[in-house]
């Protein structure tokens, strides 16, 4: 577990989403299987999401959804009409126990938020329409596609603090990406890396107890 700590107990808990609050597909093969879409350019391998360059461009709002889906269809080898299904196959389900953790945090009158590298279709599903209840209940939400920058850029962490009038030391932050954790820590956040292969709420509770938050 990678983590950093500041002396004072933070009073705002900020979550990454995929790999922390929600199970996601980590490869295009997994996403295609979840979506049930045959893709001629994919096999039984493990093609990382980030290996498709347009994925990060789309999450930083640098290309349109139409252009992204056209490129994705060519990359994975599926009809363009099926590309959005493959894209949305990245999202699987909210992790068991995260809703209870967020409710416990809110019961203590501790503020919550999220900072995620994501995109418009996923943001609608994760944060806005109630499909993922724990994430929907978070208060201070920011996503890469809304501000035109991705983690681990220091600019997005500083933008979050500016947007919500927070000091870096106010925040305890959870992310499954080591570079994102390092980026947050370099900006003064209390940051902890979550291992998505293990029980994520248990890991988060342990860090919050260590910080004296819960």
pLDDT tens digits for range 11-64: 999 999 999 999 999 999 999 999 999 999 998 899 999 999 999 999 999 999
Mean per-residue pLDDT for 188-214?
Answer: 96
- Using CA atoms, how far apart are residues 185 and 191, in angstroms rounded to an integer? 6
Q: Does the structure show a pLDDT above 90 at 8?
A: no
The pLDDT of residue 145 is 97
Cβ contact 47:27 at 8 Å: yes
* Tens of pLDDT, residues 105-161: 999 999 999 999 999 999 999 999 999 999 999 999 999 999 999 999 999 999 999
* Count of C-beta atoms within a 10 Å radius of residue 15: 26
Predicted pLDDT of residue 1: 55
How does the average pLDDT of the chain come out, rounded?
96
Beta bridge partners of 24: 91
Going by C-alpha positions, the residue among 6, 3, 5, 12 that lies closest to residue 161 is 12
Q: Locate tokens 């029980």: which residue?
A: 199
What is the SS3 assignment for 75? helix
> In this predicted model, what pLDDT tens digit does every residue of 108-120 receive, in sequence order?
999 999 999 999 9
Are 142 and 114 within 8 A, CB to CB? yes
The predicted structure's pLDDT at residue 106? 97
- The phi and psi torsions of 35 (rounded to 5 degrees) equal -75, -20
Alpha carbon of 91 to those of 36, 84, 212: distances in Å?
Answer: 13, 12, 32
Please count the residues of the chain.
214
* pLDDT at res. 108: 95
| Model pLDDT, residue 34 | 98
**Cβ atoms of residues 4 and 193 within 8 Å:** no
Read off the pLDDT band of 165 (50, 70, 90).
very high
pLDDT at 9: 83
Position 151 scores a pLDDT of: 98
Q: Which residues pair with 171 in a beta bridge?
A: 12
Q: Is the pLDDT of residue 186 over 90?
A: yes
> Closest Cα to residue 16, out of 133, 163, 118, 111?
118
d(CA 56, CA 179): 15
Q: Is the pTM of this model over 0.95?
A: no
- Look at residue 204 and tell me whether its pLDDT is greater than 70: yes
Q: What mean pLDDT do residues 83-99 have?
A: 98
């Amino acid at each position: 577990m990678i983590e950093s700590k500041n002396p004072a107990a933070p009073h705002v808990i900020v979550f990454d989403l995929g790999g922390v609050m929600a199970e996601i597909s980590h490869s295009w093969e997994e996403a295609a299987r979840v979506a049930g879409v045959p893709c001629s350019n994919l096999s039984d391998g493990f093609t990382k999401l980030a290996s498709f360059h347009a994925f990060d461009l789309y999450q930083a709002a640098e290309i349109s959804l139409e252009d992204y889906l056209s490129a994705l269809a060519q990359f994975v080898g599926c009809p363009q009409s099926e590309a959005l299904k493959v894209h949305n196959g990245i999202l699987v389900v909210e992790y068991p126990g995260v809703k209870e953790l967020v409710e416990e945090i809110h019961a203590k009158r501790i503020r919550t938020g999220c900072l995620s590298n994501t995109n418009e279709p996923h943001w609608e599903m994760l944060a806005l329409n109630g499909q993922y209840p724990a994430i929907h209940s978070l208060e201070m939400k920011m996503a890469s596609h809304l501000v035109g920058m991705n983690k681990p850029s220091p600019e997005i962490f500083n933008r979050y603090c500016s947007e919500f009038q927070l000091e870096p030391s106010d925040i305890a932050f959870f992310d499954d990406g080591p570079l994102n954790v390092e980026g947050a820590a370099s900006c003064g956040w209390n940051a902890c890396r979550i291992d998505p292969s293990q029980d994520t709420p248990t890991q988060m509770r342990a860090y919050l107890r260590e910080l004296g938050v819960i």
